Structure 1
Amino acid sequence: MTTSTVFTPPPGARARRLTTSRGEFAVVEMPVPAGVEERGVVLLLPGYTGSKEDFGLLQGPLADHGYRTVAVDGRGQNESEGRDDEAAYARPELARDVLAQAAAVGTRVHLLGHSLGGQIARAAVLLDHTPFRSLTLMASGPARISDSQQQRVRLLREALTALTQVEVWEAIRAMGPPEEVGGPAGGIGDQAQLRRRFLNTRPAQLLATGRQLCAEPDRVGELAAVPLPFHVLSGARDDTWPLPLLDEMSTRLRARRTVVPGAEHSPNADQPLPTARALAAFWDGLGEGFRGTAG
């Protein structure tokens, strides 16, 4: 189901379509301001029930640090087109989309994935790491989500098979704030914006990726063999992947580890300024031969 959207990009950014070998994707691109040297380009992947708008508070601060950002709606997410069959959202398909997006940007990029987006980013890197300069997993863990979040995702999936999307949204509203019910990802915007985003997203995308979150295997060992620098960033509290799991994953990856005080599952929304500083510090410290560091 598609509804009209009303979205104002952050000051200085522009919403556009990114044309790739695998179709067009809706993106918000934030260039580096005049007078600031561009230090790199970042591809930003949102989480479950999320969208490119979730990075709106982060993109300006990253631009000020010298990083051009491209935040993406994945296939079937919000303003990006998608099909109505779940096979279209199989993890390898979504990973190939990311590779195509990186190629369309036209330069090697720092890849950042939030929550579900982190696991999709991991799958893309495992297919081909060469388009990327680094991988940051933001509030994204080593395997399936916690039992409590699995229950929420299953409730959403069951509702989507029995009700219309409008009815599901109304049920979510009755249960509590939409950013806290039905999936691990948070959201930026007022109720009307969040409603439009939910109704724009294809049910097949929510069904398929929700199933993936509840069954994701541990692929940290495979990822650790990839010659890229890694960064594991999270808030100080996370119900989707508890912090000890993220700490352990960071150790296994020999990754930089950042915990953002005052943030929970969405540091990009909860504490965008310190999150941007931590990300920029990681990227600033990378040389072409850098493999990774504990931190």
Structure 2
Amino acid sequence: MSRPATFVPPAGARAYRLRTTRGEFAVVDAPVADGVEPRGVALLLPGFTGSKEDFNPLHVPLARRGYRTVAVDGRGQFESDGPEHDEDAYAQQELARDVLAQAAALGTAPVHLLGHSLGGQVSRAAVLLDRSPFASLTLMASGPAQISASQQERVKLLRDALAVMTMAEVWDAMQAMEAPEETATGGPADGLGNRADLRRRWLGNKPAQLIATGRQLCTEPDRVAELAVVGLPFHVLSGELDDTWPLPLLDGMARRLGARRTVVADAEHSPNTDQPHATARALADFWDAHPAPAG
């Protein structure tokens, strides 16, 4: 999971519930910086076990480049409500329709869509349903099909645990499994993100959402050929290390899509928190090259 340094929205950003035709979704909405000419709007979707706060480090640098950014918790994710036990509610097509509703609710011209990890696969599904609300698609650390075998094992362990344990019990078990050196050097326990906020985020997730989306990550088919003919500008962005989708897979996907390819130095699966300024610069450069048509 991404571990934001803070769960507090940056100055000028607003946290609220976005009302859509498919319910309300918790968002952080950051306007364009004062005195900067607006250049577009971006909708940002987080990954598995993540949340809208994963994009906090990107809001200010993107605002300075003229972009309003709206980061959203998906259905059943952290502060967005969803069924506790109904896995069918979290089918990928349902989540994709939520994204279309979110884009419509922003009330702007076509938006730039970005999905991190699982969010990238949901974004892809949304674009395949209807490309018209979107000016471009960025897949951040999100690959062409299922996740790597090692990550599938981790997800399976989590899904098995959720079948017999409460969310609080699973959290405690995960913390007990953290490497001691991570805690000592500012890892998940006390350095990269507030431990209490990370726990609160974990407990906010609906178990059915984690089980259903975890299954999707382990079984997702390769839909790159379908996506390539959609006709949107594509951007494949990742860190220089990624054990969820190895870089050769991401490189190959970018070639098949005719996409811009960005590899962020000194970043892993979450370039948004590992190297936010370099990531924001790459995103804004891509969006500048593909402005949204006036609407």
> TM-score under structure 1 normalisation?
0.91
Which residue of the partner structure matches residue 293 of structure 1?
A: none
Q: Does 1:171 align with 2:206?
A: no
Structure 1 residue 9 displacement after superposition: 1.1
Is the contact between residue 188 and residue 194 of structure 1 (CA under 8 Å) also seen in structure 2? no
The amino acid that maps onto 1:252 is R
Is the contact between residue 242 and residue 269 of structure 2 (CA under 8 Å) also seen in structure 1? yes
Q: Does 1:142 align with 2:116?
A: no
Which residue of the partner structure matches residue 194 of structure 1?
A: 198
Is the contact between residue 54 and residue 188 of structure 1 (CA under 8 Å) also seen in structure 2? no
Percent identity (aligned): 71
Equivalent-residue separation in structure 2 for 1:90 and 1:277 (angstroms): 33
Structure 1 residue 288 displacement after superposition: 6.0
The amino acid that maps onto 2:10 is P
Structure 1 residue 287 displacement after superposition: 4.9
Structure 1 residue 189 displacement after superposition: 2.4
Equivalent-residue separation in structure 1 for 2:252 and 2:8 (angstroms): 39
Show CA shifts across 1:170-205 (max 9, x none): 00001117xx9xxxxx99621111100000000000
Q: Does 1:243 align with 2:247?
A: yes
For this pair of structures, how many residues does the alignment match? 277
* Pairing of 1:41-80 with structure 2 (within 5 A): 41-80=41-80
Deviation >4 Å, runs of 4+: none
Which residue of the partner structure matches residue 152 of structure 1?
A: 154
Is the contact between residue 44 and residue 70 of structure 1 (CA under 8 Å) also seen in structure 2? yes
> TM-score under structure 2 normalisation?
0.91
What SS does the corresponding residue of 1:238 show, helix, strand or coil?
Answer: coil
Equivalent-residue separation in structure 1 for 2:291 and 2:35 (angstroms): 23
Which residue of the partner structure matches residue 130 of structure 2?
A: 128
Equivalent-residue separation in structure 2 for 1:42 and 1:252 (angstroms): 24
Which residue of the partner structure matches residue 22 of structure 1?
A: 22
Equivalent-residue separation in structure 2 for 1:263 and 1:38 (angstroms): 29
Equivalent-residue separation in structure 1 for 2:292 and 2:166 (angstroms): 50
Which residue of the partner structure matches residue 90 of structure 2?
A: 89
What SS does the corresponding residue of 2:19 show, helix, strand or coil?
Answer: strand
When the two chains are superposed, the root-mean-square deviation of aligned CA atoms in Å is 1.6
Structure 1 residue 143 displacement after superposition: 0.1
Which residue of the partner structure matches residue 265 of structure 1?
A: 269
Q: Which runs of 5+ in 1 are unaligned?
A: 1-5, 181-185, 290-295
Show CA shifts across 1:224-256 (max 9, x none): 010100000000000000000000000000000
Say which of 268, 278, 284 aligns to 2:282: 278
Equivalent-residue separation in structure 2 for 1:9 and 1:140 (angstroms): 25
Structure 1 residue 8 displacement after superposition: 2.1
Equivalent-residue separation in structure 1 for 2:285 and 2:243 (angstroms): 26
The amino acid that maps onto 2:37 is E
Equivalent-residue separation in structure 1 for 2:149 and 2:158 (angstroms): 14
The amino acid that maps onto 2:214 is G
| Distance of aligned partners of 1:198 and 1:86 in 2 relative to their CA distance in 1, 3 Å threshold | same
Which residue of the partner structure matches residue 185 of structure 2?
A: none
Q: Which runs of 5+ in 2 are unaligned?
A: 1-5, 183-187
Which residue of the partner structure matches residue 183 of structure 1?
A: none
* Pairing of 1:95-106 with structure 2 (within 5 A): 95-106=96-107
The amino acid that maps onto 2:123 is A
Show CA shifts across 1:15-65 (max 9, x none): 011000000000000001110111000000000000000000011111111
Structure 1 residue 7 displacement after superposition: 4.3
Which residue of the partner structure matches residue 32 of structure 1?
A: 32
The amino acid that maps onto 1:242 is P
Equivalent-residue separation in structure 2 for 1:121 and 1:280 (angstroms): 19
The amino acid that maps onto 2:29 is E
